[in-house]
Structure 1
């Protein structure tokens, strides 16, 4: 269980790091991606993007 939490956390961190590139491709602006300001900092939670990318990764993993 803890392993999956770590994997999900790392996936969110990687998506946050690559968010400028992903935004150029259209990711990060999908309905369900949360972006809000808290204490002067912008926080981005890419829920829909994460689900979409995990579906793509699952399809690729299934056929490889």
Structure 2
């Protein structure tokens, strides 16, 4: 558990340091993400982004458990 928390902390630190470059990646604006603009409201549901994040995290967890 300690290793996992340290790794997650380092990943969060790296994401914070590299945020200006990471913000340019079209994450959250992938094909399949639902974004609806209507009068006075805005709805966003990142289906494809959520699936992609889920697959990547599942692979990383699987690799760390080996």
Question: When the two structures are superposed, what TM-score results if normalisation uses the length of structure 1?
Answer: 0.58
Name the count of aligned residue pairs. 44
Moved over 4 A (4+): none
RMSD: 1.9
Change in 2 beyond 3 A, CA 1:45/1:52: same
| Greater Rg over alpha carbons, structure | 2
Change in 2 beyond 3 A, CA 1:23/1:30: farther
